[in-house]
Amino acid sequence: MSQMEDLCVTDCERCPALVDSRSRIVNGVGPGDADLVFVGEAPGAQEDERGEPFVGRSGDVLNDALRDVGLARADVRITNCVRCRPPENRNPTSDELDNCEGYLQTELDRIDPELVVTLGKVPSERLLDRSVAVTEEAGDVVDARIGDSSRRVLISVHPAATLYDRSQRETFTDAIARAADLAGVRETDGGQTSLGDY
Ligand code: SF4
């Protein structure tokens, strides 16, 4: 079994309401040894349909912010607190978050990244185990106990927030740039050739 397959949940029925609402289990994507792991809340409609986290417009915002710091989506790990789509896109309940927590902890333990980035309020509050004012705290880095491990966590607004409030765009891109710097994965020239090279 490959390392990627090892990180996949293929059969789970712990959350009855989510088993009814999902089309499939949406596992994390990206390298099994990524330095940077992004954690969202739960799959939405497009993620449920395509079987991949952070696709559609939110995924485009995330991909653009990664590209701005010279990273491809395939360079990072992207996952969620719960792996099945809640009905009507409601927030996952605390029981559902509890049920799925072990999968996320195992994923983080196996990957052992330099930095975890929480995308939005639900994953931030879940991983930090406290209430979080995401907009005010975006870009802050804190140490958190996740399972048996201590991890560096950077708080970020959810990429979808930038679609409804343009003022959040800079907050989001600044947080992603800081995350890339802290994880040591930023490509400083963005892969572009300067005129000075000619
Ligand atoms: S959300 Fe997680 S724990 Fe709940 S059914 Fe899906 S995979 Fe299982």
Q: Which residues contact 141 (CB under 8 A, 6 or more apart)?
A: 115, 152, 153, 154, 155, 178, 182
Amino acid at 148: D
Query: In this structure, is residue 49 part of a structural domain?
Result: yes
| Strand 141-146, strand 149-156: pairing | antiparallel
Tokens 């891109």 map to which residue?
173
Domain CATH number, residue 90: 3.40.470.10
32 Cα: distance to centroid of ligand 1 (angstroms): 20
Query: In this structure, is residue 150 part of a structural domain?
Result: yes
Question: By residue range, what is the domain housing residue 91?
Answer: 20-183
Give the number of the atom of ligand 1 that is nearest the alpha carbon of residue 12: 8
104 Cα: distance to centroid of ligand 1 (angstroms): 11
Amino acid at 142: V
Query: In this structure, is residue 34 part of a structural domain?
Result: yes
Our count of domains for the chain comes to: 1
pLDDT at 180: 96
Query: In this structure, is residue 4 part of a structural domain?
Result: no
pLDDT at 5: 61
Phi, psi of 155 (to 5 degrees): -85, 135
Query: In this structure, is residue 36 part of a structural domain?
Result: yes
51 Cα: distance to centroid of ligand 1 (angstroms): 14
How confident is the model over 60-81, as pLDDT tens digits? 999 999 999 999 999 999 999 9
- R_g (Cα) of the chain, nearest Å: 16
Query: In this structure, is residue 66 part of a structural domain?
Result: yes
Give the number of the atom of ligand 1 that is nearest the alpha carbon of residue 42: 1
Helix (H) or strand (E) holding 80: strand 77-80
Distance of alpha carbon 78 from alpha carbon 52, whole angstroms: 9
pLDDT at 2: 56
Give the three-state DSSP class for 193: coil
Query: In this structure, is residue 2 part of a structural domain?
Result: no
pLDDT at 197: 33
| Ligand 1, CB cutoff 6 Å, lining residues | 9, 12-15, 18-19, 25, 82-84, 96, 99-100, 103
Which tokens is 29 given? 């994507």
Which tokens is 120 given? 């939005």
Distance of alpha carbon 58 from alpha carbon 186, whole angstroms: 21
Where the chain has pLDDT below 50, the residues are 190-198
Query: In this structure, is residue 13 part of a structural domain?
Result: no
- Cα dihedral 84/86/87/91 (nearest 10): -170
Helix (H) or strand (E) holding 78: strand 77-80
What global pTM score does this model have?
0.92
pLDDT at 196: 30
Give the number of the atom of ligand 1 that is nearest the alpha carbon of residue 82: 1
Q: Which residues contact 65 (CB under 8 A, 6 or more apart)?
A: 159, 172, 173, 176, 177
Q: Which residues contact 126 (CB under 8 A, 6 or more apart)?
A: 81, 97, 101, 118
pLDDT at 178: 96
The residue whose CB lies within 8 Å of the most ligand 1 atoms, and thus the one to mutate among 84, 93, 98, 103, is: 84
